[in-house]
Amino acid sequence: MDIPPGKTTKIEIPDTWTNPVAAYPYWQNFNLIPGLFKPAGALFPYDAFGGKLHLTWRAGVDAVFYFELVYANSENSAKIPSYFDWIRFRELFETGVLREDVCIDPWLVDWRSVAERTISGNFDRRRLIPQTAVSLNVPLPVRRWYGTSPFAEQLIFNEGEELVFKTYPGVNAWISNEGILRSEGKVWFFTPFD
Give the model confidence (pLDDT) of 123-161 as tens digits: 999 999 999 999 999 999 999 999 999 999 999 999 989
Residues 138 and 123 grouped into a single domain: no
Question: pLDDT band at residue 76, thresholds of 50, 70 and 90?
Answer: low
What is the number of structural domains in the chain? 2
pLDDT at 5 over 90: no
- The predicted model gives 33-47 an average pLDDT of 94
pLDDT at 194 over 80: no
Residues 152 and 100 grouped into a single domain: no
Give just the sign of the alpha carbon dihedral 98, 81, 9, 27.
positive
- The pLDDT score that the predictor gives to residue 86 is 97
Residues 28 and 116 grouped into a single domain: yes
Residues 177 and 146 grouped into a single domain: yes
Q: How many other C-beta atoms can be found within 10 angstroms of the C-beta atom of residue 162?
A: 9
The answer to whether residue 144 is domain-embedded is yes
- The predicted model gives 49-69 an average pLDDT of 96
- The pLDDT score that the predictor gives to residue 67 is 96
The answer to whether residue 167 is domain-embedded is yes
* Cα three-residue angle 54-109-78, rounded to 5 degrees: 75
Question: pLDDT band at residue 77, thresholds of 50, 70 and 90?
Answer: low
Domain with 110, as residue range(s), is 19-127
